Structure 1
Amino acid sequence: MSTEQREGSQTGDCLSENVMESMSVQENDGTYHVSIPKDAAQSLGLEKGTQVLITGEQGARSLRLRPCVAVLGDD
């Protein structure tokens, strides 16, 4: 990702490029963790402490992760 794309992506509303990475699921104290690629997180305005909403539909084989502000608004 170029510097211009990084700077332009700080608005936190959408990805600045396609993302596809293979990550390993980690376990710590009985909780599973998966890392989010830093460039993708920055494009979405995510940083340490940002609240995210994880959703999935019954029967689906995927989860969707979004910043809570994008779903619930900035109340």
Structure 2
Amino acid sequence: MGIKQRFADTRTAQEGDNVIQVTIPKDVAEELGIEGGDEVLWTGEEGSDSAEIHSLN
């Protein structure tokens, strides 16, 4: 499925021990060049309702 224009398939956030885990579909991760074990940087602005993800590889 991957990214279609600006949108991709959604997933439900999971809450755990002082964290909230967000899962992205594998085809989206592959499209972004993100593999299991990679470090991922999330950026956003305070008060914003969106964020960006960046692979550090």
Q: Percent identity?
A: 38
Match of 2:50 among 54, 59, 62: 62
TM-score by length of structure 1 reads 0.61
Higher helix share: 1
Give 4+ residue runs of structure 1 displaced > 2 Å after superposition. 19-22
Q: Could you tell me which runs of 5 or more consecutive residues in structure 1 were left unpaired when the two chains were aligned.
A: 2-15, 70-75
2:10 equivalent to 1:22: yes
Cα RMSD for the two superposed structures: 1.8
TM-score normalised by L of structure 2: 0.76
Give the secondary structure class of the aligned counterpart of 1:64.
Answer: strand
- 1:17 CA drift (Å): 4.2
